[in-house]
Amino acid sequence: MRRYILLFVSAIYGLAGYGEARFPKPDFTSGYQYPEIFHGVPMENLWNIVDIVLLVAMMSVVVWAAYKKRSRAVIYSTSIVSVLYFGFFRSGCVCSVGSIQNVILAMADSSYNLPWYVALLFIVPIIFAVLFGRVFCSGVCPLGALQELVNVRNFRLSRAVSLTLSIIPWIYLAFTILYAATRSQFLICRLDPFVGIFRMGGDLGMIVFGVLLLVLSVFVGRPFCQFLCPYGAILSVFSSLSWKKIDITGKTCINCALCGKACPVDAIRAPQSSKMKEARSTGVRRILLFAVLMPLFTVTGAFLVGQNSDALSRAHKSVYLYEMIQEKAANPEMEEPLEVETFNAMGGNIEELKAEVDVIRKNYSFYSYLAGALIGFVIAFKLVKLSLKRSRRTYDVDSARCTMCGKCFNYCPQNLKKK
């Protein structure tokens, strides 16, 4: 037995690197030099590099197609490449939409090491948005590209309905921040409607939801992009401040209205004029109302969500486990849940668990108020935006909403003229 133990210990030392010390390389005195050993790049790391290079290349192509050529065909082709590569080949993960969660977790928890390629997936589309608008949404994002490829008709929603639904991505983003920052769950990954389609399997409920969204995409332009995507909400902010603005035609607009009818996301603003001049006092009162409305909605939203932080914290597995243990202790006759049975079998310490839960709930209290404030601010901002009216003589593009699909290029008669 002792012999086998010695052999086992010797093997462990060998695996740990002590073998080199016990059996050193021969000491040549003839000037021999050992060859350098090069370690190959891991395959996944190589594919991550390919992802970033292709991401930048495709967005650059879209910029050229939109601003220089005004070509719908080129942008449509990028949609096909995106669906095939980022969607089916790379299984839709990790994508720029989901990278929000990793970035939030890295900001909230210094112990989390944010992978370099995830950071680039998050920041590169934002850089392009600051410069040129929502280039990523055009045909580079596999989620938007898949919807674009099946779109045939575009039924218009009323402005009130569209405005109401446009708040949902911000609510989605707020809870994504809450759950990622508290290490509860990655909400976007869990609720991704298209990842099951790209992977040809997964949660049945999400696959059905994805299929229903695709069916809806046939008749409504990009419903996920317009009314659900949290990353699209972020890009819309930067796109509204973009350095260059998309122009439907390089020539004079003739107000034919064809571009507005062609746009699948209702991002073309029609001409309008203010025939009645507004009194100065009316404008002052509106500004004062907005000054009160914004902070009021922000504080109200923070209060409503923050007051429910304990209920929201149950999404964290440790809080959920602790409450099940408490419930079992209060009702000894109830059947013991499997999670509680496992906790007890592994010798779990209830005091340590309670201390962990207290910290988690404290974090939830802070981030719940933050999430609520974001929701309240966005609602107030949407109401303010709805009340503002600007004079326009021609059709122009709402940079925040425009996904740069290029459909308007093909419908504009000015673009069909020979140069």
Mean pLDDT along residues 386-400: 83
Predicted model pTM: 0.85
pLDDT in tens, 121-159: 999 999 999 999 999 999 899 999 999 999 988 887 877
Q: Are residues 238 and 354 in the same domain?
A: no
pLDDT on residue 277: 60
Give the count of beta carbons closer than 10 Å to the beta carbon of residue 73.
11
pLDDT tens column, 80-114: 999 999 999 998 877 899 999 999 999 999 999 99
Tell me: do 219 and 359 sit in the same domain.
no
Domain count, the chain: 2
Across 309-329, average pLDDT: 93
Write down the pLDDT at residue 203.
86
Residue 299 lies in a domain: yes
pLDDT value for 148 = 94
**How far apart, in Å, are the Cα atoms of 134 and each of 77, 222, 306?**
17, 14, 33
Give the containing element (helix H, strand E) for 268: strand 268-269
Looking at the structure, tell me whether residues 173 and 126 fall in a common domain.
Answer: yes
- Asked, for residue 11, whether it belongs to a domain, the answer is no
Structural domain contains residue 10: no
* C-alpha distances out from residue 339 to 325, 336, 347, 350, 361, Å: 9, 8, 13, 13, 20
Q: What is the DSSP string of 288-355?
A: HHHHHHHHHHHHHHHHHHHTTHHHHGGGSHHHHHHHHHHHHHH-TTSPPPHHHHHHHHTT--HHHHHH
Is residue 363 assigned to a domain? yes
Cα(207)–Cα(221) distance, integer angstroms: 20
Together in a domain, 223 and 184: yes
Same domain flag for 154 and 287: no
Residues 197 and 332 occupy one common structural domain: no
* 94 plus 183 within the same structural domain: yes
Q: Answer whether residue 263 is part of any domain.
A: no
| Same domain membership, residue 193 and residue 94 | yes
Tokens representing residue 400 in the block: 């925040």
Of 64-78, 122-136, 201-215, 383-397, the range with the lowest mean pLDDT is 383-397
For residue 12, pLDDT beyond 70: no
pLDDT at 207: 92
Q: Are residues 188 and 80 in the same domain?
A: yes
Query: Is the residue at 34 inside a domain?
Result: no
**3-class secondary-structure state, position 269:** strand
- Within a domain: 53: yes
Provide the β-strand partners of residue 396.
269
Q: Are residues 59 and 182 in the same domain?
A: yes
Q: Judge if 106 and 235 occupy the same domain.
A: yes
In which domain, by residue range, is 377 found? 281-386
- Read off the pLDDT band of 368 (50, 70, 90): very high
Please state, in angstroms and rounded to a whole number, the distance separating the CA atoms of residues 194 and 18.
Answer: 50
- Residue 286 pLDDT greater than 80, yes or no: no
Which has more confidence, 60 or 156? Answer: 60
234 and 310 in a single domain? The answer is: no
Say if 89 falls within a structural domain: yes
